[in-house]
Structures are given as C-alpha cells and as structure tokens.
Structure 1
Amino acid sequence: MTEHSNEGDEPLESSSPSLSLSTFHDACQEAGRPVLTASELARALERPQRAVFDDLEALSASGDLKRLSVSRDPVVWFPSELEDLTDRERVVVFPKRREIIVDRPDQFTRAQLTQFANLEDTNGEGGYRYVVRPADVWQAPHDTFEALQRTIRQALSRTVPALESWIESQWRRAHQFRLTTHPEGYTVLEGESAEVMGNVARQKLDESHVHAPISDTEDWVREGAEAAIKRTLYEAGYPVQDDRDLASGDPLEFELQVSLRSYQETWVDRFLESGEGVYVGPPGSGKTIAAIATMERVGGETLVLVPSRDLARQWAETLVDADVTTLGPDDVGQYHGGQKEIRPVTIATYQIAGMDRHRSLFDDREWGLVVFDECQHVPSDVYRRSTHLQSRHRLGLSASPLREDDRAAEIFTLIGPPIGTDWEALFEAGFVAEPELEIRYVPWADDEHANAYGSADGRERYQLAAMNPEKVDEVRYLLAAHPDARALVFVDYLEQGRDIAAALDVPFLSGETPHTERQRLLEAFRHDELETLVLSRVGDEGIDLPSADLAIVASGLGGSRRQGTQRAGRTMRPAGGALVYVLATRGTREEDFARRQLQHLGRQGLTVREQTVDRDQDEEATDSDEVGGAGDLEE
C-alpha cells in the first residue's frame, strides 16, 4: 500500500497496561519496519523506557520476541516468527480521515467492511484502502445501530470510539425522516422531531412537494412528489426511509431452477429486508439470475425496464428457459417498438415506459416488483420518467453505477441503496475471471496525421486521435498475436468501424444495423460461428456476449468511467484468460483519457499495464511494465 502520512491523525489502537505481542506488531506497523529498540517502542507507547524494556524481556523469555545486539543500537527486538508480521491480517484505522487500511484481510473481514465502508483502491499485493462515507452508513444493512456497531468491531477487531461516534451520528441522520401511507390513502412525510421537521424538511421543501402540515412532525405530500422529496432531503444529508403501503401486485408463482452462489443469496436476503436496492457487481457475476431469484421470493407480478430491445429479448429468453425457471411463454411479455404485450412478467424499454401514451398501461397494473436494469441511466432526463412506477419492491442492476455528472446519488434515492460484493472476492473464488488490462500507446500513422492533430483544436483533435489509421494495423497485429481468441473491437465512430471491419473482413454491428441482422450476428458470435466482431457504442450495454475472451478498445477513450467498465466487463466471465487492450494515440489527450477510464477498475483490484508500441524496431518497448492497479495512475 502507499504509505500514508498521519497528518495529526494517528491510527487508534487499544492500549493496555503491559506490552503484548499484538501491541508490538502495531508499533512495527507504525514504524514501517519489523524491528524496534526499547526507546523507539517507549516513545510510540508513551510509556517509561524501563517499563517497556522489562516487558520486552518478558516477551523474549516467553519466546514471542527475540533480541539482537547490533552496532548502532544496544539491542533491537523482533518477533520470533518474523513471517507472522507479513502474513497476518493487519487493520490500521485513521478516524479523522475515516480511512481504514487493511493488509491481507480474509474474506470475512472484507465482507464486514463492505457493510459500512467503500473500497477505494487496492495495491495488488494484499493491501486494501477503505473509506467510510456518509452514504455507506446510511445504506448499512442493519436495523439498529447496536447491530452495525457489532459489525464494525468484528471488522476492526477492536473499538475505535472516534470513528464509531461519527458513524452513529450518520446513522441517526438516516433515521430522521420517513414516508408513510395515511389511512385515507395519501402519502405523509414524518420527521423524528418537530425540530428536524422545521429546521430541515420545511426549509428544503416547498409547495411543489407538500400541501400543508398535518402536525408538528407530519406533512401531507403532493401526489407524485415522493421521488423529488427523497432526492432533495438526501442531498441535504438526510436520506428518507420509504415505508409506504405500495402495491404488491397479483401473485406470481414459479420456481428458480438454478442454485444461487453464496453472495447472490446474500444480495437477495439484503434486498428483502428493505424492499429496495441496487445489485452492483462486475459483468458475469450473475445479477440477472439474482434478480430472477428476487422475483421468485417477492412472488408478485414484475415489470422489468431495460435500455434496449435487444436486452428485452435476452431477458425474455432467459425467463422462459426451462433450465432457469418454470415460467412459460404465456407468463412473459415484451413491450417496446417491436412487440406490445402486458403479461405477469413484462419487459419494457425505459423510453416506452416513460411515454405519456403508454403510461396508463403500466400504471393500471399493480406491480409487486419493478426491476431497473442498467440503472445507471435512471437519472437522465429521458429515463427518469419511468421511475414514477413505484411498487413495494424496487430493484436496480448495474455493473457500474457511475456517472460523470453530479447525479449519481439519484440512482440510490430513486431506486434504493447499493447491494454488492467485493470484486476481488469474486475473482479469488473463481466466480468471475479477472481480465488482464493493457493500455497500448500507438504512434501516428504518418507526419501528415500528426501535423493535422497539432493544428486542430477541441472536438476535432479528439476525433483525429481516436481515428488514427495506425490503430487499424495495431488491431490486426493484436488479433494475429491471439489467433484463437474470440474478439470484440470497440469503436466510437462509424467511419472507423467500417474501416476496421473492411480491413479485417469481419462484420460491423452498429445502431444502423437492422435488428434481425443484429440478432443474427450475435447468435453467430455466441455459437462460435463468428470469431471477431466490430462494435459501436451499441455494444457497450444491453448485449450479452458471454464467450468473448478478447476486447480491443480502438476508440472511445473520451467516454465515461462507466463505459470503460462495460467494455472491460465484456470479458469478465467464469472462463479465464481474458484480455483487454485499450489503444491510445501517443502524445495526445487519449493517454490521459485511457488512465481516467480504467482508474476505477484498478480500485476494484484489477491490474493495468502500460505498453508503448515502437514501429521503428519491429518490437515493443516497455514504457512501464506494470501498474499495480489503475488506482496508481494519475487521473
């Protein structure tokens, strides 16, 4: 891990009247070396040197420590089992920064930490850095603070009063407001006290949100303003609990025919505790199967919202697959530009669900569960209209609930809190293959293109770098280097896609491709009849390509971090050996874009390498052999 300066924020450790081996390990951790003198230890513990020396002698006599005379100091002390210092799980807490550094944590510790902290980055060598944010505490899956406190102490193996005090204050904030249903059917906003109601809710909300006060702690909510109230108070630092008596839908009875993995069971259990949430996990982690299991447990008619017609078709095929569920074709309908069927399980596109002329069809049916697939889109103006479809249970699915604007929090206010699993745990358990990511810096095809870039500005510069003709040769080179790979080549520009497809003599699938031809190409790829496919942005989301084991990103580096996750994620499947190559034109802003786009993947535990392509020497010169995670790359 990167060494952190304490900046006046010393990691808290429990003190004891006599020295223990654990305390000695803690002091070694602080000093950054496995050997200490008695004077160093005395200063660290703020105890008399004589008393510390006596304790060291006692630990030496018991065999826990060994002593060694050296030339520069009279005696240094070190653990008898020195390897224990490097192999044992170590947790260091910085309360003021609300930061937790963990060295070689086991999966239990990581599972506990993810219940109240966010994994910021890893170093690829067993080091993890977590940060406790307000939203992490608000979304903790516990009914009482005492239960959350037990989880914190289990994860940290001790009490950290300063951190616990801050977490408790955030816990209290998350339980100040709730939405309930009045006996007469309308919605009420309740405050925990008259003070918080007057000083927060009535200062932040206006007549577009509420009609009038009912009491000192209750306001009558305008119909349809619930989502706006939740969003407004969330942004003010007060998440709202949604306890409305929403529709549970007509019964839906079927059986799931596949067994859930342990983490999927945990996802479903956590969702059912609150009735809302977002399953967050890498592609290949089984979010769709977990969602179907949730449908089975909820047992009410279900509406699934998706961003594309292709994804609607894939959902329908999965739901009626006899190896997956006992649902039949008459139980599942699709509602989009191609088909318009309302069934006990209906899959619709966000665009259709948000249109006024179709809305009544969805409003008139009571849904026990609404599933928002690829829910990172929900805050956008086009998609958010679908969120008026409220039900007792709201479930989102996303590999990357990231947005480049400031509206990411809306995903969780409109749908529910994130429910996920440490990505690296999935890699270690073999549920998902960790792809190898490599940024390759490609030279200009010739001076003419380099000069054109130098004289251009703005968007034109970005396009020239993205469409550097040298990338066509690089794609050809990479495919030749992996002759047996099933490859996807991603582009942002139609002209570039056509050029690469023509050079490779392979199909190009874009938004212009007719749906029938699109389905034919995807089926050919799935069934090993097509080894290479060039894709425009239509391939970033909503297309399931489970057999891909090589991805080449030829352009698109100005896109979002979410796009980087989606494209890299096309190789994250249980089969190993997946590779992702990101091409960036050397000496352009694409270099920065490549780092930015993959940086958050490094924080999830993936390793990102950098390679400079040298055409003059018919070989590749290594610019940087390996970056221990994209988190080490400067944005």
Structure 2
Amino acid sequence: MNQWHATLTNAFGDQLTETVGVLGGGSHEIAALTVTTYDSAYRYIDEYGDRFGLLITDETHHLAADTYLQIPEMTIAPYRLGLTATYERADGREELLEDRMGPVVYEEVVDNLAGEFLSEYETIQMSVELTSEERSAYDDEYQLYRDYVDNHDFDLWKEQGYAEFLKRTSYDPQGRRALIAKQRAERIARTATKKLDTLDNLLKRHHDDRVIVFTANNDFAYDISREFILPCITHQTDTDERTEILERFRSGEYSMLATSQVLDEGIDVPAANVGIILSGSASKRQYAQRLGRILRPTDDRQPARLYEIITTDTMETYVSQRRRDGVSSSADG
C-alpha cells in the first residue's frame, strides 16, 4: 500500500486538487485517487463502493478468494483493471474473476520484456546428488508414501486428488504415516548437504552482486542465515527489523539476504541481480514472483541470474518442471 501511495503521489500529486488518499493502517483519507489493501477494501467496501469509477487491483489473483470477491461485487465502478504476473491459481478460481473484472485483455511473456523494460536474465538449473545416507533415508520414506498413494489411486497433480489424500490422512493412521513420510522425504531433498556446498560456491562467485537466497520454509532460511552469516527475513520478522534489513540491502550495506516465502510478493524489495532458489513449491506464481525480484532494470544493465539448485532423482525434479512451465505476465480488465 505504501509503495503504491508513494508512486501515485510522485506521478500525480501536483495535478490533483486533493492528495492521494489511503484507506488502511488506521487512515481513512478518501481522495480522487485512493490506495487500500484487500483487507481494508473488504472491510469498508459497503461504505465506499459508490465513490469510484475505476477499480484497479494489483496481484489480482488474490481477488478470487471467497471474501475478496465481495470487493468487485459491491463497487459500482464501471471500469476495472486487474494486474498480475501470475493470473492462474492452483485452485482454478481465476475463472471467477471474468464476471467481476472482465476477461484477460493483454498478456506478455517475461522474455519479451527483457532488455527494454526488465533486465536481461538467464535461468540456470544446477543439480546435486544426495549422499549415500541421505539417499537411503529418502528412498525409504518416499517408497512408503508412494505405496500408499498408488494403493488408493490418488492423482496428486490435481488439487482435488491431493485434497482427497489429505482428507484421508486425517482419519487413516497409514495415510497419516504416508504424509509424514512425504514430508520427511521432501525435507531430505530440500536440505541436501551438497546444496549447501553449491550455495557456498555461488555466494563466493557472486560476492560483488546483490543476492537473494530463497527457501521453502522458515527453518531452512534460518539455517542458511546461521551457516553463511546472512541477514534473514521470514514472516516472523517484525516490521521494523524487516524495514531495516531491506534498507541496508538497498544501500549496499548488506549485499545478500536469505528469505522464505515472505518476499515472494507484496513487499518492495530493493533491486537484486542474483536469485538462488534452494527450495520451493510447484507454484508457477511463486517461480514468477521470485524471478521478478531480480528483473528490475538498473542503470548498469547487468544481466540478472536466477539459479535453481535441484536434488536429482527426487520429488524436486518434477516440482521444478511444473513451476517453470508457462511463466508469463498477464493483465485482465
């Protein structure tokens, strides 16, 4: 919200008789241009829904949530524009946005934006092997999980199939054990010893660059922070500390930082030119957001690099392929 407010104020402040307003964070400043969050808009849309003729939603894929759908339904704005780098949702609910916001009217793939609007970039996938001990433990846990899935014919790549698997684990002891086995196997692949060795080499190689290390969960982010003496931001980091870390990253006092999923979107992250994905989900949205963190154009126009460190012959191989497929930037309105 603050980022949008600052951008609009800089762009239009002198041309408006009123200042750019803010609705949220304790402020109820309604103006010709008003910036708000989804939570505040949902809370006050019945009061202010008749005040505006144009509705613009950023990260519009979030608008498809049950509660947020009331925002476009309760505003009279005849003109609407949704912006997002990741229109598709894992649950398919983006289809609900067509009636509320309109169809997709413009879509652009990242490659077509590189150079003029975004930094030139390259993605580099690096593979590491499990140690013999890690391999043995991984295979045991993964086989237990796969046996259970195969015996019950779950289609885990479809949301309904995975939801059914999770539902069954709530009352079936064997299903619960299979879920735990899956989580253990994922952790082994995610935190493989040789990943840290590869990360060490990459950090040394890019010691003069601005680097963000992405992980899938807080524990691994903190492990990386301790191992390599990097500042760390997770959803547990309070606002003041997060602001200070990002400001030091912006100024160059910090050249590297580790994070979990909290920096994927919604936070104004200073420009970085190197991203290192140690672990993540199969979400195309998450991959696109992480790629976007290193693509902001800079004066020196140095190409950005996104490294993805994958543990071979594990679930990560398939997860990586799914999140890399079809990444694009979209707009609907």
TM-score by length of 2: 0.77
Deviation sequence 1:202-221 (CA, Å, 0-9, x none): xxxxxxxxxxxxxxxxxxxx
2:290 maps to: 567
2:308 maps to: 582
Q: 1:373 aligns with which of 43, 58, 82?
A: 58
Q: 2:35 aligns with which of 347, 351, 355?
A: 347
Supply the distance in 1 between the matched residues of 2:136 and 2:15 (Cα, whole angstroms).
61
Q: 1:315 to 1:506 in 2, by over 3 A?
A: same
Q: 1:511 aligns with which of 213, 235, 238?
A: 235
Supply the distance in 2 between the matched residues of 1:413 and 1:422 (Cα, whole angstroms).
24
Would you say the 8 A contact 2:64–2:97 is kept in 1? yes
Please report how far the alpha carbon of residue 327 of structure 1 lies from its aligned counterpart in structure 2 after TM superposition: 6.2
Supply the distance in 2 between the matched residues of 1:561 and 1:523 (Cα, whole angstroms).
28
Q: 2:21 aligns with which of 307, 330, 333?
A: 333
SS at match of 1:548: coil
1:443 maps to: 129
Q: 1:470 to 1:384 in 2, by over 3 A?
A: farther
| Cα root mean square deviation, aligned | 2.4
Please report how far the alpha carbon of residue 387 of structure 1 lies from its aligned counterpart in structure 2 after TM superposition: 2.4
Segments of 5+ residues of structure 2 without an aligned counterpart are: 142-180
Would you say the 8 A contact 2:218–2:259 is kept in 1? no
- If you compute each CA radius of gyration, which structure gives the higher value, 1 or 2? 1
1:176 maps to: none
SS at match of 1:572: coil
SS at match of 1:371: strand
Residue 484 of structure 1 aligns to which amino acid in structure 2? D
Residue 291 of structure 2 aligns to which amino acid in structure 1? A
1:35 maps to: none
Q: 1:437 to 1:319 in 2, by over 3 A?
A: same
Alignment of 1:544-555 (within 5 A): 544-555=268-279
2:213 maps to: 489
2:175 maps to: none
Would you say the 8 A contact 1:374–1:398 is kept in 2? yes
Q: 2:201 aligns with which of 477, 488, 498?
A: 477
Please report how far the alpha carbon of residue 517 of structure 1 lies from its aligned counterpart in structure 2 after TM superposition: 1.6
Deviation sequence 1:203-258 (CA, Å, 0-9, x none): xxxxxxxxxxxxxxxxxxxxxxxxxxxxxxxxxxxxxxxxxxxxxxxxxxxxxxxx
Would you say the 8 A contact 1:330–1:343 is kept in 2? no
Deviation sequence 1:66-122 (CA, Å, 0-9, x none): xxxxxxxxxxxxxxxxxxxxxxxxxxxxxxxxxxxxxxxxxxxxxxxxxxxxxxxxx
Q: 1:393 to 1:589 in 2, by over 3 A?
A: same
Please report how far the alpha carbon of residue 481 of structure 1 lies from its aligned counterpart in structure 2 after TM superposition: 1.2
Alignment of 1:301-340 (within 5 A): 312-321=1-10, 325-326=13-14, 331-336=19-24, 338-340=25-27
Residue 481 of structure 1 aligns to which amino acid in structure 2? R
Residue 341 of structure 1 aligns to which amino acid in structure 2? H
Would you say the 8 A contact 1:401–1:411 is kept in 2? no
Alignment of 1:588-607 (within 5 A): 588-601=314-327
Residue 185 of structure 2 aligns to which amino acid in structure 1? R
Structure with the bigger percentage of helix? 2
Segments of 5+ residues of structure 1 without an aligned counterpart are: 1-311, 605-635
SS at match of 2:325: helix
Supply the distance in 1 between the matched residues of 2:135 and 2:99 (Cα, whole angstroms).
47
Supply the distance in 2 between the matched residues of 1:414 and 1:508 (Cα, whole angstroms).
39
Residue 107 of structure 2 aligns to which amino acid in structure 1? G
1:99 maps to: none
Would you say the 8 A contact 1:373–1:397 is kept in 2? yes
1:360 maps to: 46
Supply the distance in 2 between the matched residues of 1:331 and 1:389 (Cα, whole angstroms).
25
Would you say the 8 A contact 1:376–1:400 is kept in 2? yes
Would you say the 8 A contact 2:249–2:270 is kept in 1? no
Supply the distance in 1 between the matched residues of 2:262 and 2:90 (Cα, whole angstroms).
19
Please report how far the alpha carbon of residue 463 of structure 1 lies from its aligned counterpart in structure 2 after TM superposition: 2.9
Would you say the 8 A contact 2:80–2:101 is kept in 1? yes
Q: 1:518 to 1:402 in 2, by over 3 A?
A: same
Supply the distance in 1 between the matched residues of 2:252 and 2:7 (Cα, whole angstroms).
20
